[in-house]
């Protein structure tokens, strides 16, 4: 099962390179298991893999990104939880960010 994400800084109109992203899976007892850490590349993209159908979450370290630009970050991190049900599909979770807001959706 594969995952990709794409982070765009809408306040600057460009990819948000350098953001660290944690990938975690929710266990049956409700706790979270860290599966790895991704790094958003110069093109604003990163890829990961899943090991089973479950609920997952991506946590994007947006605070350090905006701090490095000398901008305030109202949201120091953005967490997006989502459910994987079909192991044959590719899942794309884009994130649009600005210093004072964000949005996401299921991409293709």
pLDDT band at residue 107 under the 50/70/90 scheme = very high
Query: Given a cut of 90, is residue 49 above it in pLDDT?
Result: no
pLDDT band at residue 87 under the 50/70/90 scheme = confident
Asked if residues 95 and 5 have their Cβ atoms less than 8 Å apart, the reply is: yes
Asked if residues 45 and 21 have their Cβ atoms less than 8 Å apart, the reply is: no
Of the candidates 100, 92, 107, which has an alpha carbon nearest to the alpha carbon of residue 58? Answer: 92
Give the global pTM: 0.94
* pLDDT at residue 108, rounded to an integer: 87
Query: Given a cut of 80, is residue 9 above it in pLDDT?
Result: yes
pLDDT band at residue 74 under the 50/70/90 scheme = very high
- Cα–Cα distances in angstroms (integers) from residue 40 to residues 2, 17, 64, 88, in the given order: 16, 5, 13, 24
| Angle of CA points 50, 65, 34, to nearest 5° | 25
Query: Given a cut of 90, is residue 4 above it in pLDDT?
Result: yes
Query: Given a cut of 80, is residue 80 above it in pLDDT?
Result: yes
* pLDDT at residue 38, rounded to an integer: 94
Give the pLDDT mean for 5-28. 97
């Amino acid at each position: 099962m594969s995952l990709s994400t794409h982070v765009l800084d809408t306040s600057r109109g460009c990819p948000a390179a350098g953001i660290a992203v944690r990938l975690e899976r929710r266990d049956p007892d409700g706790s979270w298991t860290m599966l790895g850490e991704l790094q958003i590349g110069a093109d604003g993209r990163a890829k990961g893999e899943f090991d089973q159908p479950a609920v997952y979450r991506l946590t994007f370290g947006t605070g350090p990104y905006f701090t490095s630009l000398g901008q305030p970050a109202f949201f120091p991190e953005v967490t997006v939880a989502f459910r994987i049900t079909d192991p044959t599909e590719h899942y794309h979770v884009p994130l649009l960010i600005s210093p004072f807001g964000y949005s996401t959706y299921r991409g293709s």
